[in-house]
Structure 1
């Protein structure tokens, strides 16, 4: 297959040659107790361009997600969720790498014991980025230049969201 590669100084993508990817994926779902479940997924992948052996920029080498969910008889569902993306080559020559990150979220839902003519009501409370991790959501490696300075190649990034707390009511109909 051909790859689309981001070209930072043009703000576009370009078609590159054929690539090869190989690796492994593991996934599990376990019912630990009648009220407690675990799920997890892990991928390990190697991606390179055929012929040159160069890296496919920003192709993750390792990703993972896991969650532990408690479903209580009183209608409360509470889940601790984790997502991980390992470091990945930011350019074809593997001279720069995008940073890895691991972020945890805490998600809670409570089915309200309210009789509705149609549907059901739930209260929710979520803490995204529970541990207020400093992470980079989007990362790219390209050359940029400030006025009066020479051009330099570096990682350009969008900071990941800081801790965010949300709550409210939802009506499912």
Structure 2
């Protein structure tokens, strides 16, 4: 699960844990900006893909054949015997589809009134999961039952003017 209030008014959904989201100060600043502009008291944030795919550096440097799992459940590399030092990579469609049911369950459990979708891929996959297929774009507002989906740019590019755009949808 993500982090924040367990009865949120708003949920921030990032694509995956990246350099921006690993910096807790950046996440807190982003959350506070959204809370102030959108006048939300309780905010929660989560990820569309929870398990970070990594490119294996050890596998390229070792003569190994075959496909399969090269890491233990404790994230120890079977090739090097050390903790995984793989390079984080952006998740593919397969990882997104595998993780999407967990995100949808999290949304259904917490049932926030507002969901802020960061980036085109998050908007596309989440909205399509709710049956919204037509003209999915960033900087738009979509309704589904009692939830309002607000699409915006990726978190690293999010600025105060983007927050004002989101707030303008809520004032209509």
Indicate the structure whose relative CO is greater, using CA pairs within 8 Å and at least 6 residues apart: 2
Same fold (TM over 0.5): no
Could you tell me the TM-score, scaled by structure 1's length? 0.23
Could you tell me the TM-score, scaled by structure 2's length? 0.23
> Which of the pair has more CA radius of gyration?
1
Name the one with the larger strand percent: 1
Name the one with the larger helix percent: 2
